[in-house]
Structure 1
Amino acid sequence: MPNSTATRIACFGELLMRLSPPGCELPLQSPRFNVHFGGAEANVAASLAILGHHSVMISALPDNMLGRACAAELRKHGVETGSIRHVEGRMGVYYLSPGAVHRPSEVLYDRADSVFARTPAEAYDWPQVLAGAQWLHLSGINLALGETTSRAALAAVHAARAAGMSISFDCNYRSKLWGARALRAPAMLREIVGHANVLFGNDRDIALMLGADFPHVDAIARFRAAADAAFATWPHLQRMASTERLHRNVDDQDLLGLMATRDRMLTTATHTLSGIVDRIGGGDAFAAGLLHGLFRGMPDEAMLDFAITAACLKHSIPGDVNLLREADMLAFLAHGGFEVRR
C-alpha cells in the first residue's frame, strides 16, 4: 500500500480493454484472445501505485461487467478508483496483433463512441477529483479522441494549475487516432504542453508542434536541439524525457533513455533487449519510473537510470502494465545477474 509520505498523483485518460491472440498468432488464427486492461495514463497510475505512491484514476467506464472488471484490476494494483464515473455505454477496445522477427506488431482500435469519449468536461467535479493531489498526469491521446475529450483534458489542466499542482504530459501522438483531425494536432498539443512541468516526447513531437526541423544525424543531438526549442517556447517546462529505440527486428532491440533539463543533457547506457515478450506500455513504464525518481528526490542521473530500467524490464511482462517493484529495478541497476533468486 502507498506510504504516508508518498506523492498523490491524479491520472486522467481512457481505460481500455486489450484483446490479443496467444503467442505470436494472427488475430483469429485460433478462436482465442488474451484479455488485458490498460491505457496510457492507467499504465502510469498502476505502476506508480506499485512503486508506493497514491495514484488516483480519473476516467469513465461502462456500468457493466467489463467496466467493473477493469476498475477491479486497477484496485488490485493499489490505484484509487473512486473518481471513475460508471455510466451506461460501451468500453473502448483495442486489438493487438503481436509481431515477431520481421513482422511488426499492429494495433486496431475499436473505441469510437466509448463512455469516456462521450463524457463531457462538466461531468467531472475537478476540485473534488483533484483534491489532495500534488500532480496531474495525462497524454495527447485525450486530444486525439475528439472534441469532448479534448475539452475535458483542458479542463483538467486548468483545474490542476488553479490548485497549484504540477503537470506531466506525454505527447503520445497516434496518427490512427487523430485521423482527419491531424491538422489540428500541433495547436492542441501546444496548448497543453504550455502548462506542463515535465514533457515526455522526442524530437519528432517537438517538430510536429513547432513546425520546426531538427536535421541532426545523431539522435542525441536531435533530442537536445528539440529540447532547447521546447524550453524556449514553454516557460513552465523543466524537463523533457524520452526513450530512443534501435530495431534489429521485432524481438531484438536496443533502448536508451534521454532527458534534458534547462541546463543539462543526460543519456543512459544502451540496453540490449533480446527475446522481447511485450513492448506495449514500455513508454508508460519509463514515464512512471521517471516520475517515481522525481517524487523520491533522486539525482537526475539516478532518476533517468531508474526510468530506463523500468522501461527495459516492462518488455519482459505480458500486458500493458509494468508489474515490477522498486526492488526489481534496483536489482537490475546493481547488475544482479540472471541466476534464479532463491
Structure 2
Amino acid sequence: MDSGKILCFGELLLHFAPDSAGNWLGEQSMKIFVGGAEYNVASALAQWNHPVKLLSALPENFVGEHLEAQLQHKKIEVLAEKRTGRIGTFYLSSDGDMQHAQVIYDRFPSVFTQSEFSSFRPEEIFGDVQWLHISTITPALSDNAFLKCLELMKEAAARKITVSLDLNYRAALWQGRNPSEKILELMPYVNVLMGNIWSIQQFLDIPVTCELDGTFNDKNLLQQAEQSATEIQKAYPNVEMVANTFRFTQGDEVNYYATLYEHGQLYVSEPYYSEKVEERVGSGDSFMAALIHGKIKGHPTRQIVEDATKVAFRKLFVKGDTINETINIEQL
C-alpha cells in the first residue's frame, strides 16, 4: 500500500500567538504560525517523505503567494481555489495556562468559507491518490465545504481510496447547529475514524453510557472506547479502524494515552505524563498523521497506536501548529 499520494481537504489558517501577559502590544510583535487541521496532517506526512496534496483556498494577494510558496517548500502539492478575499485566522496564546487558554476565531468570511470549490476536475484532484483525509472542522465552515467533503468522499469510495475522518468538535464553528446531521451523511464513506468517546457521542449520536469518574486511569474509559467502536462498526461496517485519544490536563500537567480498535480488538497505548506542556495545538493532528503513516506502511496495529501516541505526546512540546524535525517517526 506504500504508494500514491495523500490528499487533505481543509482550510489553511494563520495562527496568531500573542504572549499571555500582553507584552506583544508594547513590543508590537507576536508569533505567527501556519495552521489548520488538515494542513497540520499534510505537513507532518510531507516531513516524513510521503507525497501529499492539499486542496484548499488562497487569497489572490501576496499573502496567498507567500503561503503557496511555503507549502511548495515543504513539498506539499497545492491545489488552491484562488479568489479575492482574506485568509482565515485564529488567536491563541502559546504560553501561560494551557488548560484555560482562550481561542478566538476570525474566519468568517474567508476565501475558504466563500469558495465554491469548482476549479479542479476529479482527475486533477484524485490523480495518483491512495488516501483522502478530512476533519469535521471543514464541513462546519460552509454549505459548499460540506458538499465538497461529501463529493470527495463519494468519489474516493468509488475509486477504492481509503478515507479518514477526524472528529474534531469546535462548538464556535457549529453555532448552535446539530453537527450530527451533516457528519452522519459522511460516515458511509469513512474507513478510518479518529476522535474520542465524547466527540463520537457529539457527532454520531452514540452515547457514553459507562459511569466515568473524570480521571485518566478510569478503566471504564477503555470499556467505553471499545463499546463506542463496536457500535460504530455495527452501524458503519465500512469503518475498519477507530482511534480514541485521551488527554487529561490540570493546569500545565497532562496525562495522555490512546486506543485503537481494529478486527474486534482494542489496543491500548502506553500512558504518558508531563508536569508542563509547551503547546496545545496540533497534537491530535500529529496523531492522525502518524496513524496514516503506519497504515500506509503496513505496520502492525500495536505499533501504529504506540507510534501515533508517542508522536502526539511529543508534539505537546513543539511550539506552533505542526511538528518539526525533532519528531522523526522512523526514530521515535
* TM-score normalised per structure 1: 0.89
Where 1:60 maps in the other structure, the secondary structure is strand
Matches within 5 A, 1:159-238: 159-180=155-176, 182-183=177-178, 185-216=179-210, 217=212, 218-238=220-240
Picking from 96, 103, 112, the partner of 1:100 is 96
- Cα distance in 1 for partners of 2:190, 2:99 equals 36
Q: Give 1:243's aligned residue.
A: 245
Q: Give 1:340's aligned residue.
A: none
The 1:73/1:21 distance shift into structure 2, 3 A limit, reads same
Deviations 1:64-119, CA, capped at 9 Å, x for gaps: 121122222222222112x1222221110111134524761111111102111111
Q: Give the aligned residue type for 2:198.
A: R
In percent, how many aligned pairs have the same letter?
Answer: 27
- Cα distance in 1 for partners of 2:99, 2:134 equals 31
Q: Give the aligned residue type for 1:245.
A: R
Conserved in 1, the CA contact under 8 Å of 2:2 and 2:296?
A: no
* Deviation for aligned residue 1:26: 4.2
Q: Give 1:336's aligned residue.
A: none
Gaps of 5+ in 2: 213-219
- Cα distance in 2 for partners of 1:46, 1:293 equals 16
Q: Give the aligned residue type for 1:246.
A: F
Q: Give 1:148's aligned residue.
A: 144
Matches within 5 A, 1:10-159: 10-22=7-19, 24-26=20-22, 29-30=25-26, 31-81=28-78, 83-98=79-94, 100-101=96-97, 104-159=100-155
RMSD of equivalent CA atoms = 2.0
* Deviation for aligned residue 1:215: 2.4
Deviations 1:22-69, CA, capped at 9 Å, x for gaps: 4x4348554322111110000001100111110100111101121122
Where 1:192 maps in the other structure, the secondary structure is helix
Where 2:118 maps in the other structure, the secondary structure is helix
Q: Give 1:321's aligned residue.
A: 322
* Deviation for aligned residue 1:225: 1.0
Where 1:44 maps in the other structure, the secondary structure is helix
Deviations 1:221-271, CA, capped at 9 Å, x for gaps: 11111111111111210001121012132x220110111114110111111
Gaps of 5+ in 1: 333-342
The 1:50/1:178 distance shift into structure 2, 3 A limit, reads same
Where 1:194 maps in the other structure, the secondary structure is helix
Q: Give 1:337's aligned residue.
A: none
* Deviation for aligned residue 1:8: 1.1
Q: Give 1:269's aligned residue.
A: 270
The 1:127/1:27 distance shift into structure 2, 3 A limit, reads farther
* Deviation for aligned residue 1:323: 1.7
Where 1:11 maps in the other structure, the secondary structure is strand
Conserved in 1, the CA contact under 8 Å of 2:51 and 2:76?
A: yes
1:8 partnered with 2:8: no
- Cα distance in 2 for partners of 1:275, 1:78 equals 33
- Cα distance in 2 for partners of 1:65, 1:254 equals 42
Conserved in 2, the CA contact under 8 Å of 1:20 and 1:27?
A: no
- Cα distance in 2 for partners of 1:125, 1:187 equals 28
- Cα distance in 1 for partners of 2:302, 2:198 equals 24
* Deviation for aligned residue 1:152: 1.4
- Cα distance in 2 for partners of 1:99, 1:87 equals 35
Q: Give 2:215's aligned residue.
A: none
Where 1:116 maps in the other structure, the secondary structure is coil
Deviations 1:106-137, CA, capped at 9 Å, x for gaps: 11111102111111143332221111101100
* Deviation for aligned residue 1:287: 0.3
- Cα distance in 2 for partners of 1:279, 1:102 equals 7
* TM-score normalised per structure 2: 0.91
* Deviation for aligned residue 1:220: 1.3
Conserved in 2, the CA contact under 8 Å of 1:7 and 1:295?
A: no
Q: Give the aligned residue type for 1:169.
A: L
Where 2:154 maps in the other structure, the secondary structure is helix
Q: Give 1:258's aligned residue.
A: 259
Conserved in 1, the CA contact under 8 Å of 2:86 and 2:111?
A: yes
- Cα distance in 1 for partners of 2:242, 2:11 equals 24
